[in-house]
Structure 1
Amino acid sequence: MENYISENISYLVTRMRSSQDELGAIFDLKRGTINTYISKKAQPKIDTIQRICEYFDITIDAFINTSLEETKSGKFVKNDIATNVATNIDVVAKEIEIRDELIAFYKEKVESYEKEKNTLEIITRIENKLDTSLETNKTLFSEIEEYFELMKLKENLEKAKNIETHHKSKK
């Protein structure tokens, strides 16, 4: 019984506008292996046929028993191959875009944390300086207080002298 496996693999390579290497890469097969299928020197294993059919959304029956090239009406091909490839490219592009957005988001977070860490270090240094300043200021304020008290005492002493002088002059 004749089958169309080799013709259909050749047709899929042509329809995808790719090389045998590219088709092989999709299904983890070497170019030589794809070439043996196309030249009818070998037949793919059933699991390889299943993966090809699943990838291109083709029934196994249509892939084996029907020429896909002759059924351009899409009778056996559920989805257009070019559409599948374009969809896959769109999905990969979207995944890359999402990845890039996540990288940017996490980069911004890291920068924010670094700025916050730097800010906290600066605040800690200022607090330490303030603590030192407060001790210095307390000492300074004490000295100023003592000075003002001394000044008041001198002023009061002067007043007392003036009062005493004033009383002596009245007498």
Structure 2
Amino acid sequence: MPDFSTRLKELRKSKKNTQQDLANILDLKRNNIAKWETGKATPDFEIIQKIADYFEVNVNYLLGTSDEKESLIRGLENKDSIYLIIYVALKKHISIPIIEKAIQAIELPQSMKDELYFILEMIDSNERQLRWWEANKNGSTLKATNEN
């Protein structure tokens, strides 16, 4: 499935916009668009939403996490908003405990919160496994830590 940079470039070209055209529409500089399309940078939440609105696609499609272009409800849905926040927060290296606190502060159905916590737990578990493998591939060991 294409990622954000690929989707952005495809959508821009489908409207026959140059990078400068899109930059003008979003009130940004062309080099921002170039960095996003090459995967060297990721825009913040507000810009991703503006881009999705301009191209009339949902945020999940733009981020490359879904192949469905249109959401049932035009605009950003609660679930899309939370997934987008998590995506951007992780790209900006915000820690998982801080993201969890933000989820606690948002009014959401408990089932949605549980789903988000599960996703974060899986991400955290995968990161720990990667660190362990990295530490042990050269014969060194990773000290166990108790994180509560």
Asked if TM exceeds 0.5, the reply is no
Is the helix fraction higher in 1 or 2?
A: 1
Question: Highest Rg: 1 or 2?
Answer: 1
